[in-house]
Structure 1
Amino acid sequence: MKIAITSASGQLGAAIVKTLIQEIGKENVIAIARTPANAEHLGVEVRKGDYNNRQEFNEALKGIDKLLLVSGMDEPQKRIQQHRNVIDAAKQNGVQKLVYTSIVGDENNNAFSPVVQSNQQTEMDVRNSGLDYVIGRNGIYIEPDLEYIDTYVKEGGITNCAADGKCTYTSREELAQAYVQLLLTDELNGEILNLVGEGITQAQLTDYINRVYGLNLKFTSISVEEYKNERQAALGEFLGTIIAGIYEGIRIGANDVKSDFEKAAGRVHISPLEMIARFHKNQS
Protein backbone atom coordinates (compact mmCIF):
# COMPACT_ATOMS: atom_id res chain seq x y z
CA MET A 1 0.00 0.00 0.00
CA LYS A 2 1.38 3.38 -1.06
CA ILE A 3 0.35 6.49 0.89
CA ALA A 4 1.14 10.00 -0.36
CA ILE A 5 1.33 13.22 1.67
CA THR A 6 1.03 16.60 -0.07
CA SER A 7 2.89 19.73 1.10
CA ALA A 8 5.46 17.37 2.57
CA SER A 9 8.05 20.13 2.80
CA GLY A 10 5.80 22.08 5.18
CA GLN A 11 5.92 21.57 8.93
CA LEU A 12 2.67 19.60 9.28
CA GLY A 13 3.27 17.53 6.14
CA ALA A 14 6.79 16.65 7.25
CA ALA A 15 5.59 15.66 10.73
CA ILE A 16 2.99 13.34 9.19
CA VAL A 17 5.55 11.76 6.83
CA LYS A 18 7.94 11.07 9.72
CA THR A 19 5.19 9.52 11.84
CA LEU A 20 3.86 7.44 8.94
CA ILE A 21 7.33 6.03 8.17
CA GLN A 22 7.41 4.56 11.68
CA GLU A 23 4.15 2.72 11.00
CA ILE A 24 4.52 1.39 7.42
CA GLY A 25 8.18 1.90 6.43
CA LYS A 26 9.67 4.56 4.18
CA GLU A 27 9.30 2.44 1.02
CA ASN A 28 5.49 2.82 1.28
CA VAL A 29 5.42 6.60 1.86
CA ILE A 30 5.49 9.13 -0.99
CA ALA A 31 6.16 12.80 -0.25
CA ILE A 32 4.71 15.35 -2.66
CA ALA A 33 6.16 18.88 -2.68
CA ARG A 34 6.04 21.92 -4.93
CA THR A 35 9.85 22.07 -4.60
CA PRO A 36 11.00 18.44 -4.20
CA ALA A 37 14.47 19.39 -2.95
CA ASN A 38 12.83 20.85 0.16
CA ALA A 39 11.44 17.41 1.11
CA GLU A 40 14.41 15.21 0.29
CA HIS A 41 15.60 15.28 3.92
CA LEU A 42 12.61 13.07 4.79
CA GLY A 43 14.33 10.05 3.24
CA VAL A 44 11.39 8.86 1.10
CA GLU A 45 10.51 9.07 -2.60
CA VAL A 46 9.61 12.69 -3.39
CA ARG A 47 7.37 13.64 -6.31
CA LYS A 48 6.74 17.14 -7.65
CA GLY A 49 3.26 18.52 -7.09
CA ASP A 50 2.18 22.16 -7.27
CA TYR A 51 -1.46 22.71 -6.28
CA ASN A 52 -1.83 25.04 -9.27
CA ASN A 53 -0.77 22.30 -11.70
CA ARG A 54 -3.29 19.53 -12.30
CA GLN A 55 -0.94 17.70 -14.69
CA GLU A 56 1.79 17.45 -12.05
CA PHE A 57 -0.68 15.77 -9.69
CA ASN A 58 -1.82 13.39 -12.42
CA GLU A 59 1.78 12.16 -12.45
CA ALA A 60 2.41 12.44 -8.70
CA LEU A 61 -0.57 10.27 -7.76
CA LYS A 62 0.15 7.32 -10.04
CA GLY A 63 0.04 4.07 -8.04
CA ILE A 64 -1.14 5.80 -4.85
CA ASP A 65 -3.71 3.98 -2.69
CA LYS A 66 -4.37 6.63 -0.03
CA LEU A 67 -3.72 10.36 -0.05
CA LEU A 68 -3.44 13.00 2.65
CA LEU A 69 -4.28 16.46 1.25
CA VAL A 70 -2.76 19.17 3.44
CA SER A 71 -4.72 22.39 3.03
CA GLY A 72 -2.89 24.99 0.94
CA MET A 73 -1.63 28.33 2.23
CA ASP A 74 -2.70 30.56 -0.66
CA GLU A 75 -5.48 33.18 -0.52
CA PRO A 76 -8.85 31.59 0.33
CA GLN A 77 -10.43 31.85 -3.12
CA LYS A 78 -7.38 30.42 -4.87
CA ARG A 79 -7.27 27.40 -2.56
CA ILE A 80 -10.60 26.00 -3.73
CA GLN A 81 -9.44 25.32 -7.31
CA GLN A 82 -5.98 24.27 -6.12
CA HIS A 83 -7.52 21.59 -3.91
CA ARG A 84 -9.87 20.54 -6.73
CA ASN A 85 -6.84 19.90 -8.93
CA VAL A 86 -5.61 17.36 -6.37
CA ILE A 87 -9.05 15.78 -5.80
CA ASP A 88 -9.65 15.38 -9.54
CA ALA A 89 -6.20 13.86 -10.07
CA ALA A 90 -6.88 11.44 -7.19
CA LYS A 91 -10.12 10.32 -8.85
CA GLN A 92 -8.42 9.92 -12.22
CA ASN A 93 -5.67 7.76 -10.69
CA GLY A 94 -7.99 5.47 -8.74
CA VAL A 95 -6.86 6.63 -5.30
CA GLN A 96 -9.07 4.75 -2.82
CA LYS A 97 -9.13 7.15 0.11
CA LEU A 98 -8.57 10.85 0.68
CA VAL A 99 -7.89 12.43 4.07
CA TYR A 100 -8.13 16.23 4.18
CA THR A 101 -6.74 18.65 6.78
CA SER A 102 -9.42 21.28 7.29
CA ILE A 103 -9.71 23.81 10.12
CA VAL A 104 -11.89 24.73 13.09
CA GLY A 105 -13.44 28.19 13.01
CA ASP A 106 -16.48 30.41 12.49
CA GLU A 107 -17.45 30.68 8.83
CA ASN A 108 -19.23 34.06 9.05
CA ASN A 109 -18.34 36.37 11.89
CA ASN A 110 -14.69 37.43 11.74
CA ALA A 111 -11.78 38.24 9.43
CA PHE A 112 -10.61 34.61 9.50
CA SER A 113 -13.98 33.41 8.15
CA PRO A 114 -12.95 33.48 4.44
CA VAL A 115 -10.25 30.90 5.24
CA VAL A 116 -12.81 28.74 7.07
CA GLN A 117 -15.27 29.08 4.17
CA SER A 118 -12.69 27.99 1.60
CA ASN A 119 -11.81 24.95 3.73
CA GLN A 120 -15.49 24.06 4.04
CA GLN A 121 -15.92 24.29 0.26
CA THR A 122 -13.07 21.79 -0.09
CA GLU A 123 -14.74 19.60 2.55
CA MET A 124 -17.83 19.56 0.32
CA ASP A 125 -15.71 18.77 -2.75
CA VAL A 126 -14.09 15.86 -0.88
CA ARG A 127 -17.48 14.53 0.26
CA ASN A 128 -18.80 14.75 -3.31
CA SER A 129 -15.71 13.13 -4.85
CA GLY A 130 -16.99 9.56 -4.66
CA LEU A 131 -13.79 8.54 -2.83
CA ASP A 132 -13.64 7.14 0.67
CA TYR A 133 -12.66 10.05 2.89
CA VAL A 134 -12.06 11.40 6.38
CA ILE A 135 -11.90 15.11 7.16
CA GLY A 136 -9.96 16.42 10.13
CA ARG A 137 -10.58 19.95 11.37
CA ASN A 138 -7.36 21.18 12.94
CA GLY A 139 -7.33 23.34 16.02
CA ILE A 140 -4.92 26.27 16.24
CA TYR A 141 -1.29 25.20 16.49
CA ILE A 142 0.36 26.12 19.78
CA GLU A 143 3.84 26.33 18.20
CA PRO A 144 3.58 29.86 16.73
CA ASP A 145 2.84 31.26 20.18
CA LEU A 146 5.90 29.50 21.57
CA GLU A 147 8.10 30.59 18.67
CA TYR A 148 7.07 34.16 19.54
CA ILE A 149 8.26 34.00 23.16
CA ASP A 150 11.29 36.25 22.63
CA THR A 151 8.93 38.98 21.42
CA TYR A 152 6.58 38.43 24.36
CA VAL A 153 9.53 38.76 26.73
CA LYS A 154 10.67 41.95 25.01
CA GLU A 155 7.14 43.38 25.25
CA GLY A 156 6.61 42.10 28.79
CA GLY A 157 3.56 40.03 27.96
CA ILE A 158 0.99 38.65 25.53
CA THR A 159 -1.46 41.12 24.03
CA ASN A 160 -4.34 40.26 21.70
CA CYS A 161 -8.11 40.59 21.39
CA ALA A 162 -9.15 37.11 22.57
CA ALA A 163 -10.43 38.35 25.97
CA ASP A 164 -11.49 35.31 28.04
CA GLY A 165 -12.45 33.13 25.07
CA LYS A 166 -11.18 29.56 25.16
CA CYS A 167 -8.97 28.04 22.46
CA THR A 168 -8.59 24.30 21.96
CA TYR A 169 -4.91 24.36 20.98
CA THR A 170 -3.19 21.42 19.33
CA SER A 171 0.33 20.80 18.00
CA ARG A 172 1.74 19.50 14.73
CA GLU A 173 3.11 16.42 16.51
CA GLU A 174 -0.29 15.57 17.95
CA LEU A 175 -1.99 16.14 14.60
CA ALA A 176 0.55 13.88 12.88
CA GLN A 177 -0.38 11.04 15.26
CA ALA A 178 -4.08 11.49 14.54
CA TYR A 179 -3.75 11.77 10.76
CA VAL A 180 -1.61 8.66 10.50
CA GLN A 181 -4.30 6.66 12.30
CA LEU A 182 -6.99 8.15 10.02
CA LEU A 183 -4.96 7.07 7.00
CA LEU A 184 -4.30 3.55 8.22
CA THR A 185 -7.71 2.61 9.62
CA ASP A 186 -11.05 2.80 7.83
CA GLU A 187 -13.50 2.73 10.76
CA LEU A 188 -13.97 6.51 10.65
CA ASN A 189 -14.40 6.85 6.89
CA GLY A 190 -17.07 9.40 6.03
CA GLU A 191 -16.62 11.38 9.27
CA ILE A 192 -15.58 14.96 10.03
CA LEU A 193 -13.53 15.16 13.24
CA ASN A 194 -12.35 18.07 15.39
CA LEU A 195 -8.66 17.42 16.00
CA VAL A 196 -8.17 19.66 19.02
CA GLY A 197 -6.98 19.58 22.60
CA GLU A 198 -8.31 21.05 25.84
CA GLY A 199 -9.80 24.56 25.71
CA ILE A 200 -7.82 27.22 27.59
CA THR A 201 -7.94 31.01 27.86
CA GLN A 202 -5.08 33.31 26.91
CA ALA A 203 -4.55 33.97 30.62
CA GLN A 204 -4.10 30.22 31.19
CA LEU A 205 -1.78 29.97 28.19
CA THR A 206 0.32 32.80 29.64
CA ASP A 207 0.43 31.08 33.03
CA TYR A 208 1.58 27.78 31.47
CA ILE A 209 4.28 29.53 29.46
CA ASN A 210 5.47 31.27 32.63
CA ARG A 211 5.63 27.95 34.49
CA VAL A 212 7.59 26.11 31.78
CA TYR A 213 9.93 28.94 30.80
CA GLY A 214 10.36 30.54 34.22
CA LEU A 215 8.94 33.87 33.04
CA ASN A 216 6.60 36.48 34.45
CA LEU A 217 4.55 37.47 31.40
CA LYS A 218 1.16 39.17 31.74
CA PHE A 219 -1.82 38.78 29.42
CA THR A 220 -3.58 41.92 28.23
CA SER A 221 -6.74 41.92 26.13
CA ILE A 222 -7.46 44.86 23.83
CA SER A 223 -10.32 45.61 21.43
CA VAL A 224 -10.62 43.76 18.13
CA GLU A 225 -10.18 47.00 16.18
CA GLU A 226 -7.10 48.06 18.11
CA TYR A 227 -5.50 44.63 17.70
CA LYS A 228 -6.30 44.51 13.97
CA ASN A 229 -4.70 47.91 13.41
CA GLU A 230 -1.62 46.87 15.36
CA ARG A 231 -1.23 43.56 13.49
CA GLN A 232 -1.78 45.19 10.07
CA ALA A 233 0.94 47.73 10.87
CA ALA A 234 3.32 44.92 11.86
CA LEU A 235 2.47 42.26 9.26
CA GLY A 236 0.75 44.01 6.36
CA GLU A 237 -2.97 44.19 5.61
CA PHE A 238 -3.65 40.61 4.47
CA LEU A 239 -1.76 38.68 7.15
CA GLY A 240 -2.54 41.22 9.88
CA THR A 241 -6.27 40.90 9.17
CA ILE A 242 -6.08 37.08 9.22
CA ILE A 243 -4.18 36.98 12.55
CA ALA A 244 -6.60 39.44 14.14
CA GLY A 245 -9.48 37.33 12.82
CA ILE A 246 -8.08 34.20 14.48
CA TYR A 247 -8.03 35.90 17.90
CA GLU A 248 -11.45 37.46 17.31
CA GLY A 249 -12.67 33.93 16.61
CA ILE A 250 -11.25 32.79 19.96
CA ARG A 251 -12.97 35.76 21.64
CA ILE A 252 -16.41 34.75 20.30
CA GLY A 253 -16.02 31.03 21.08
CA ALA A 254 -15.38 29.71 17.56
CA ASN A 255 -12.36 27.75 18.80
CA ASP A 256 -13.95 26.20 21.87
CA VAL A 257 -15.24 23.02 20.24
CA LYS A 258 -15.78 19.40 21.25
CA SER A 259 -12.68 17.29 20.66
CA ASP A 260 -12.76 14.12 18.55
CA PHE A 261 -9.02 13.62 18.95
CA GLU A 262 -9.23 10.47 21.09
CA LYS A 263 -11.62 8.89 18.58
CA ALA A 264 -9.16 9.67 15.76
CA ALA A 265 -5.83 8.93 17.43
CA GLY A 266 -6.87 6.14 19.79
CA ARG A 267 -5.59 8.07 22.81
CA VAL A 268 -6.32 11.33 24.61
CA HIS A 269 -4.70 14.55 23.42
CA ILE A 270 -1.82 15.67 25.64
CA SER A 271 -2.46 18.71 27.86
CA PRO A 272 -1.53 22.29 26.88
CA LEU A 273 1.08 22.32 29.65
CA GLU A 274 2.65 19.12 28.27
CA MET A 275 2.68 20.54 24.71
CA ILE A 276 4.54 23.61 25.94
CA ALA A 277 6.97 21.50 27.99
CA ARG A 278 7.72 19.24 24.98
CA PHE A 279 8.29 22.22 22.69
CA HIS A 280 10.64 23.80 25.24
CA LYS A 281 12.57 20.54 25.64
CA ASN A 282 12.95 20.15 21.87
CA GLN A 283 14.22 23.72 21.53
CA SER A 284 16.79 23.46 24.29
Structure 2
Amino acid sequence: MILITGATGHIGAAVIQQLLTKLPASQIAALVRDEAKATHLQAQGVSLRVGDYRDPAALDRAMQGVEKVLLVSGGGEADGLQLHQNVVDAARRAGVRCLAYTGRALHDRHTLTNELMKRHFLTEDYIQASGLDYVLFRNILYMDTLPQFVGPKVLETGIHLPAGEGRVSFALRREMGEAIANVLAEGDCANRIYTFTNSDAYSFHDVAAALTELSGREVRYTDIEPAAFVAGMQARGLPEFVVNLTLGFMTDIKNGQESAVTSELAEALGRQPVSLKEGLRELMGL
Protein backbone atom coordinates (compact mmCIF):
# COMPACT_ATOMS: atom_id res chain seq x y z
CA MET A 1 0.00 0.00 0.00
CA ILE A 2 1.27 3.45 -0.99
CA LEU A 3 -0.11 6.46 0.91
CA ILE A 4 -0.06 9.80 -0.91
CA THR A 5 -0.42 12.88 1.28
CA GLY A 6 -1.81 16.13 -0.09
CA ALA A 7 -3.84 13.92 -2.37
CA THR A 8 -6.31 16.56 -3.55
CA GLY A 9 -3.57 19.09 -4.35
CA HIS A 10 -2.00 19.48 -7.78
CA ILE A 11 1.09 17.29 -7.40
CA GLY A 12 -0.60 14.67 -5.20
CA ALA A 13 -3.44 14.31 -7.67
CA ALA A 14 -1.01 13.93 -10.57
CA VAL A 15 0.89 11.21 -8.70
CA ILE A 16 -2.28 9.27 -7.91
CA GLN A 17 -3.62 9.41 -11.47
CA GLN A 18 -0.36 7.99 -12.81
CA LEU A 19 -0.19 5.35 -10.06
CA LEU A 20 -3.64 4.19 -11.11
CA THR A 21 -2.18 3.32 -14.53
CA LYS A 22 0.58 1.28 -12.88
CA LEU A 23 -0.98 -0.40 -9.84
CA PRO A 24 -4.36 -1.71 -8.70
CA ALA A 25 -6.38 0.98 -6.93
CA SER A 26 -6.46 -1.30 -3.87
CA GLN A 27 -2.74 -0.58 -3.41
CA ILE A 28 -3.20 3.21 -3.27
CA ALA A 29 -4.34 5.31 -0.31
CA ALA A 30 -4.89 9.06 -0.14
CA LEU A 31 -4.49 11.28 2.91
CA VAL A 32 -7.12 14.02 2.70
CA ARG A 33 -8.37 16.69 5.08
CA ASP A 34 -11.85 16.84 3.54
CA GLU A 35 -13.33 13.54 2.44
CA ALA A 36 -15.97 15.36 0.41
CA LYS A 37 -13.27 16.74 -1.90
CA ALA A 38 -11.95 13.25 -2.65
CA THR A 39 -15.08 11.35 -3.67
CA HIS A 40 -13.65 11.08 -7.20
CA LEU A 41 -10.67 9.18 -5.80
CA GLN A 42 -12.90 6.91 -3.74
CA ALA A 43 -14.96 6.21 -6.86
CA GLN A 44 -11.78 5.03 -8.57
CA GLY A 45 -11.13 2.57 -5.76
CA VAL A 46 -8.52 4.60 -3.86
CA SER A 47 -8.66 4.18 -0.07
CA LEU A 48 -9.25 7.48 1.75
CA ARG A 49 -7.48 8.23 5.02
CA VAL A 50 -8.78 11.39 6.72
CA GLY A 51 -6.33 13.57 8.62
CA ASP A 52 -3.80 16.34 8.36
CA TYR A 53 -0.21 17.06 9.27
CA ARG A 54 -1.23 18.73 12.56
CA ASP A 55 -2.99 15.65 13.96
CA PRO A 56 -0.54 12.91 15.03
CA ALA A 57 -3.35 10.55 16.05
CA ALA A 58 -4.98 10.85 12.62
CA LEU A 59 -1.60 10.32 10.98
CA ASP A 60 -1.09 7.16 13.02
CA ARG A 61 -4.45 5.84 11.81
CA ALA A 62 -3.66 6.80 8.23
CA MET A 63 -0.37 4.88 8.27
CA GLN A 64 -1.91 1.54 9.24
CA GLY A 65 -1.15 -1.12 6.65
CA VAL A 66 1.00 1.28 4.62
CA GLU A 67 4.42 0.25 3.29
CA LYS A 68 5.35 3.42 1.44
CA VAL A 69 4.46 7.08 2.05
CA LEU A 70 4.87 10.07 -0.25
CA LEU A 71 5.09 13.21 1.87
CA VAL A 72 4.00 16.06 -0.38
CA SER A 73 5.54 19.22 1.03
CA GLY A 74 3.08 21.60 2.68
CA GLY A 75 2.50 25.27 2.07
CA GLY A 76 3.91 28.35 3.73
CA GLU A 77 2.69 27.85 7.28
CA ALA A 78 5.01 29.18 9.96
CA ASP A 79 5.20 25.72 11.55
CA GLY A 80 5.63 23.93 8.23
CA LEU A 81 8.81 22.11 9.24
CA GLN A 82 7.11 20.70 12.34
CA LEU A 83 4.20 19.53 10.19
CA HIS A 84 6.59 17.63 7.94
CA GLN A 85 8.29 16.14 10.99
CA ASN A 86 4.91 14.95 12.28
CA VAL A 87 4.44 12.88 9.13
CA VAL A 88 7.95 11.43 9.34
CA ASP A 89 7.43 10.53 13.00
CA ALA A 90 4.12 8.82 12.25
CA ALA A 91 5.72 6.83 9.44
CA ARG A 92 8.46 5.67 11.79
CA ARG A 93 5.95 4.67 14.49
CA ALA A 94 3.95 2.68 11.94
CA GLY A 95 6.98 0.81 10.65
CA VAL A 96 6.61 2.21 7.14
CA ARG A 97 9.19 0.64 4.82
CA CYS A 98 9.87 3.68 2.64
CA LEU A 99 9.33 7.43 2.94
CA ALA A 100 9.42 9.65 -0.15
CA TYR A 101 9.42 13.45 -0.12
CA THR A 102 8.83 16.19 -2.70
CA GLY A 103 11.62 18.74 -2.20
CA ARG A 104 13.26 21.28 -4.46
CA ALA A 105 16.10 21.26 -6.99
CA LEU A 106 18.19 24.22 -5.85
CA HIS A 107 21.89 24.87 -6.32
CA ASP A 108 23.08 25.72 -2.81
CA ARG A 109 20.98 25.54 0.34
CA HIS A 110 23.43 27.80 2.17
CA THR A 111 23.05 30.80 -0.16
CA LEU A 112 19.28 30.79 -0.70
CA THR A 113 17.40 34.05 -0.39
CA ASN A 114 13.96 32.44 -0.22
CA GLU A 115 13.69 31.37 3.41
CA LEU A 116 10.72 29.11 2.70
CA MET A 117 12.86 26.93 0.43
CA LYS A 118 15.31 26.17 3.24
CA ARG A 119 12.56 24.15 4.90
CA HIS A 120 12.85 21.52 2.18
CA PHE A 121 16.45 20.79 3.06
CA LEU A 122 15.71 20.73 6.79
CA THR A 123 12.95 18.21 6.08
CA GLU A 124 15.38 16.11 4.06
CA ASP A 125 17.84 16.21 6.98
CA TYR A 126 15.12 14.98 9.33
CA ILE A 127 14.14 12.16 7.00
CA GLN A 128 17.74 11.05 6.57
CA ALA A 129 18.23 11.03 10.34
CA SER A 130 15.01 9.09 10.96
CA GLY A 131 16.40 5.67 10.12
CA LEU A 132 13.71 5.14 7.47
CA ASP A 133 14.62 4.12 3.96
CA TYR A 134 13.87 7.08 1.72
CA VAL A 135 13.69 8.52 -1.76
CA LEU A 136 13.93 12.28 -2.21
CA PHE A 137 12.44 14.00 -5.25
CA ARG A 138 14.07 17.38 -5.81
CA ASN A 139 11.77 19.16 -8.24
CA ILE A 140 12.70 22.21 -10.26
CA LEU A 141 10.41 25.26 -10.20
CA TYR A 142 7.10 24.34 -11.79
CA MET A 143 6.52 25.78 -15.24
CA ASP A 144 2.95 26.17 -14.00
CA THR A 145 4.10 29.22 -11.97
CA LEU A 146 4.94 31.21 -15.11
CA PRO A 147 1.43 32.61 -15.72
CA GLN A 148 1.50 34.05 -12.18
CA PHE A 149 5.04 35.40 -12.55
CA VAL A 150 4.47 37.14 -15.90
CA GLY A 151 0.93 38.32 -15.12
CA PRO A 152 -2.38 38.11 -16.98
CA LYS A 153 -1.62 41.07 -19.26
CA VAL A 154 1.83 39.90 -20.35
CA LEU A 155 0.97 40.10 -24.06
CA GLU A 156 0.20 43.81 -23.64
CA THR A 157 2.78 44.84 -21.05
CA GLY A 158 5.67 42.43 -21.51
CA ILE A 159 7.57 40.79 -18.64
CA HIS A 160 8.97 42.99 -15.86
CA LEU A 161 10.83 40.99 -13.23
CA PRO A 162 14.04 41.38 -11.16
CA ALA A 163 15.47 38.03 -12.29
CA GLY A 164 18.45 39.31 -14.27
CA GLU A 165 19.81 36.80 -16.75
CA GLY A 166 18.98 33.90 -14.45
CA ARG A 167 17.88 30.64 -16.02
CA VAL A 168 15.40 28.02 -14.83
CA SER A 169 14.91 24.50 -16.18
CA PHE A 170 11.13 24.85 -15.79
CA ALA A 171 9.13 21.61 -16.07
CA LEU A 172 5.41 20.93 -15.92
CA ARG A 173 4.04 19.92 -12.53
CA ARG A 174 1.97 17.11 -14.03
CA GLU A 175 5.08 15.57 -15.60
CA MET A 176 6.91 15.65 -12.30
CA GLY A 177 3.92 13.96 -10.69
CA GLU A 178 3.97 11.32 -13.40
CA ALA A 179 7.70 10.72 -12.92
CA ILE A 180 7.35 10.46 -9.13
CA ALA A 181 4.59 7.88 -9.56
CA ASN A 182 6.70 5.85 -11.96
CA VAL A 183 9.54 5.69 -9.44
CA LEU A 184 7.20 4.80 -6.57
CA ALA A 185 5.51 2.07 -8.59
CA GLU A 186 8.83 0.51 -9.53
CA GLY A 187 9.71 0.19 -5.86
CA ASP A 188 13.00 2.11 -5.77
CA CYS A 189 13.69 3.19 -2.19
CA ALA A 190 17.43 2.71 -1.85
CA ASN A 191 18.06 6.05 -0.12
CA ARG A 192 18.04 7.67 -3.55
CA ILE A 193 17.85 11.34 -4.53
CA TYR A 194 16.28 12.29 -7.86
CA THR A 195 16.73 15.76 -9.35
CA PHE A 196 13.87 16.41 -11.74
CA THR A 197 14.41 19.25 -14.23
CA ASN A 198 13.71 19.95 -17.87
CA SER A 199 16.29 19.17 -20.53
CA ASP A 200 17.15 22.86 -21.00
CA ALA A 201 17.29 25.93 -18.78
CA TYR A 202 15.44 29.07 -19.86
CA SER A 203 15.83 32.76 -19.10
CA PHE A 204 12.90 35.16 -19.05
CA HIS A 205 14.18 36.37 -22.43
CA ASP A 206 13.41 32.83 -23.62
CA VAL A 207 9.97 33.01 -22.02
CA ALA A 208 9.32 36.30 -23.82
CA ALA A 209 10.51 34.84 -27.13
CA ALA A 210 8.26 31.80 -26.74
CA LEU A 211 5.26 34.00 -25.95
CA THR A 212 6.07 36.17 -28.97
CA GLU A 213 6.15 33.14 -31.24
CA LEU A 214 2.98 31.63 -29.80
CA SER A 215 0.91 34.82 -29.77
CA GLY A 216 2.26 36.64 -32.82
CA ARG A 217 2.66 39.72 -30.62
CA GLU A 218 6.05 41.05 -29.55
CA VAL A 219 6.74 40.35 -25.90
CA ARG A 220 9.88 41.66 -24.24
CA TYR A 221 11.50 40.90 -20.91
CA THR A 222 12.77 43.86 -18.86
CA ASP A 223 15.00 43.22 -15.86
CA ILE A 224 13.82 45.72 -13.25
CA GLU A 225 15.19 46.74 -9.88
CA PRO A 226 13.89 44.79 -6.85
CA ALA A 227 12.55 47.99 -5.23
CA ALA A 228 10.44 48.76 -8.30
CA PHE A 229 9.15 45.19 -8.37
CA VAL A 230 8.17 45.32 -4.69
CA ALA A 231 6.46 48.68 -5.14
CA GLY A 232 4.45 47.32 -8.06
CA MET A 233 3.28 44.29 -6.10
CA GLN A 234 2.38 46.43 -3.11
CA ALA A 235 0.40 48.75 -5.36
CA ARG A 236 -1.64 45.72 -6.44
CA GLY A 237 -2.52 45.11 -2.78
CA LEU A 238 -0.66 41.82 -2.45
CA PRO A 239 0.14 40.66 1.10
CA GLU A 240 3.67 41.22 2.39
CA PHE A 241 4.24 37.47 2.64
CA VAL A 242 3.47 37.02 -1.08
CA VAL A 243 5.65 40.00 -2.04
CA ASN A 244 8.63 38.70 -0.07
CA LEU A 245 8.16 35.13 -1.29
CA THR A 246 8.00 36.18 -4.95
CA LEU A 247 11.01 38.47 -4.60
CA GLY A 248 12.88 35.56 -3.01
CA PHE A 249 12.09 33.37 -6.01
CA MET A 250 13.31 36.06 -8.40
CA THR A 251 16.52 36.70 -6.46
CA ASP A 252 17.36 33.02 -6.32
CA ILE A 253 16.68 32.69 -10.04
CA LYS A 254 19.01 35.63 -10.70
CA ASN A 255 21.68 33.94 -8.59
CA GLY A 256 21.48 30.65 -10.51
CA GLN A 257 19.72 28.58 -7.88
CA GLU A 258 17.20 27.12 -10.36
CA SER A 259 19.51 26.47 -13.32
CA ALA A 260 20.35 22.78 -12.84
CA VAL A 261 19.76 20.51 -15.82
CA THR A 262 19.66 16.73 -15.49
CA SER A 263 18.32 13.84 -17.55
CA GLU A 264 16.56 12.21 -14.60
CA LEU A 265 13.06 13.52 -15.32
CA ALA A 266 13.30 12.35 -18.92
CA GLU A 267 14.54 8.94 -17.75
CA ALA A 268 11.70 8.53 -15.24
CA LEU A 269 9.13 9.62 -17.85
CA GLY A 270 10.61 7.53 -20.64
CA ARG A 271 10.50 10.58 -22.95
CA GLN A 272 11.70 14.17 -23.12
CA PRO A 273 9.75 16.58 -20.90
CA VAL A 274 7.48 19.15 -22.52
CA SER A 275 9.50 22.13 -23.76
CA LEU A 276 9.03 25.72 -22.61
CA LYS A 277 7.16 26.68 -25.76
CA GLU A 278 4.77 23.75 -25.67
CA GLY A 279 4.27 24.15 -21.94
CA LEU A 280 3.35 27.80 -22.32
CA ARG A 281 0.97 26.89 -25.14
CA GLU A 282 -0.79 24.51 -22.74
CA LEU A 283 -0.70 26.75 -19.66
CA MET A 284 -1.76 29.97 -21.33
CA GLY A 285 -4.08 28.62 -23.99
CA LEU A 286 -2.05 30.04 -26.89
Q: TM-score, normalised by structure 1?
A: 0.90
**3-state SS of 1:151 partner:** coil
1:257 aligned to 2:239?
Answer: no
Contact 2:23 2:185 in 1 (8 A): no
CA contact (8 A) 2:103 2:121 kept: yes
Q: CA deviation at 1:50?
A: 0.9
Task: Choose which of 273, 276, 281 in structure 2 pairs with 1:277.
Answer: 281
Measured after TM superposition, the shift of residue 203 of structure 1 is: 0.8
- The amino acid that maps onto 2:244 is T
1:163 matched residue in structure 2? 164
Instruction: Identify the residue that residue 34 of structure 2 maps to in structure 1.
Output: 35
In structure 1, give the amino acid aligned to 2:34: T
What residue is the counterpart of 1:241 in the other structure?
244
Task: State whether residues 136 and 192 of structure 2, in contact with CA within 8 Å, keep that contact through their aligned partners in structure 1.
Answer: yes
Q: CA deviation at 1:131?
A: 1.7
Tell me what 2:85 maps to: 84
Classify the secondary structure of the residue corresponding to 2:195: strand
Distance (whole Å) between structure 1 residues aligned to residue 90 and residue 15 of structure 2: 21
User: 1:89 deviation in Å?
Assistant: 0.9
Structure 2 unaligned segments of length 5 or more: list them: none
> Displacement of 1:36 after TM fit?
2.3
Q: Distance in 2 between matches of 1:143 and 1:156?
A: 20
SS at match of 1:9: coil
| Structure 2 equivalent of residue 225 of structure 1 | 227
Find the residue that maps to 1:7 and give its secondary structure: coil
Q: Per-residue CA shift, 1:177-196, capped at 9, x if unaligned?
A: 21012212344621222211
**C-alpha separation between the residues in 2 aligned to 1:246 and 1:149?**
13
TM-superposed CA distance for 1:154, in Å, is 6.6
- Return the letter of the residue paired with 1:3: I
Q: Give the distance between the partners of 1:188 and 1:120, measured in 2 at CA.
A: 19
Identical columns (%):
29
Runs of 4+ in 1 over 6 A off after TM superposition: none
Deviation, 1:143, is: 1.3
Aligned-residue Cα RMSD (Å) equals: 2.2
Q: 1:116 to 1:150 in 2, by over 3 A?
A: closer
Q: State the AA in 2 paired with 1:95.
A: V
One-letter amino acid of the counterpart of residue 5, structure 2: T
1:205 to 196, 204, 207: 207
1:1-284 correspondence runs (5 A): 2-42=1-41, 43=44, 44-75=46-77, 77-105=78-106, 106-112=108-114, 114-146=115-147, 151-153=152-154, 155-187=156-188, 189-197=190-198, 198-234=200-236, 235-259=238-262, 260-280=264-284
Point out where structure 1 has 5 or more consecutive residues left out of the alignment.
Answer: none
How far is 1:40 from its partner? 2.2
Q: Alignment partner of 2:232: what SS?
A: helix
SS in 2 for 1:73: coil
Separation in 1, partners of 2:19, 2:154 = 36
Using the TM superposition, name which of 50-59 and 260-269 deviates more: 260-269
Q: CA shift at 1:56, angstroms? A: 0.9
Q: Check conservation: 2:4, 2:29, Cα contact below 8 A.
A: yes
CA distance in 2, matches of 1:274, 1:98: 33
Cα distance in 2 for residues equivalent to 1:110 and 1:224: 16
The question of whether the paired residues in 1 share the 8 Å contact of 2:63 and 2:94 is answered with yes
**Residue aligned with 1:24, SS:** coil
Q: Say if 1:135 and 1:192, in contact at 8 Å, map to a contact too.
A: yes
User: What is the aligned length?
Assistant: 279
Q: 1: distance between equivalents of 2:121 and 2:154?
A: 37
